[in-house]
Amino acid sequence: MPRTTRAPQPAYRPRVMLTATRSVYRVESERMPGVTYRVDAVAGTCTCPAGQWEKPCKHARIGLMVWEAQRQMCLAARNGVTTTEAAGAFPVAA
């Protein structure tokens, strides 16, 4: 039986939306565009199906990465690093 190969999938680049709470984000679903999940980066929780079973998920990982990048930019600003320099060192999707 011949082996079939899968077409390469585009990289997952979700939209991440800020909320009123500093460490909580809305992260867009990979499979269902327009659907977002609530991610608490500090608590490591997500409202996606995997997150509801307390399993690690890509949304929580992305939320943590964004939170850490924002934290690093704040620390850099406190140390006199310009926003442009900090953004180059710690890229955050707009």
Q: Is residue 10 part of a domain?
A: no
Domain extent at residue 62 = 16-89
Q: Is residue 5 part of a domain?
A: no
The count of domains in the chain is 1
Question: Which residue would you say has higher pLDDT here, 90 or 52?
Answer: 52
C-alpha 42, offset from chain centre: 12
Which amino acid appears at position 68 of this protein? E
Check residue 85 and give its pLDDT.
Answer: 55
Q: Is residue 1 part of a domain?
A: no
| Residue 65 to residues 1, 5, 61, 90, Cα–Cα distance (Å) | 43, 32, 6, 10
Q: Is residue 64 part of a domain?
A: yes
Check residue 9 and give its pLDDT.
Answer: 64
Percent of the chain with pLDDT over 90: 34
Q: Is residue 94 part of a domain?
A: no
Q: Is residue 61 part of a domain?
A: yes
Dihedrals phi, psi of 31, to nearest 5 degrees: -90, -20
Q: Which two tokens stand for residue 59?
A: 């949304």
Q: Is residue 41 part of a domain?
A: yes
Q: Is residue 9 part of a domain?
A: no
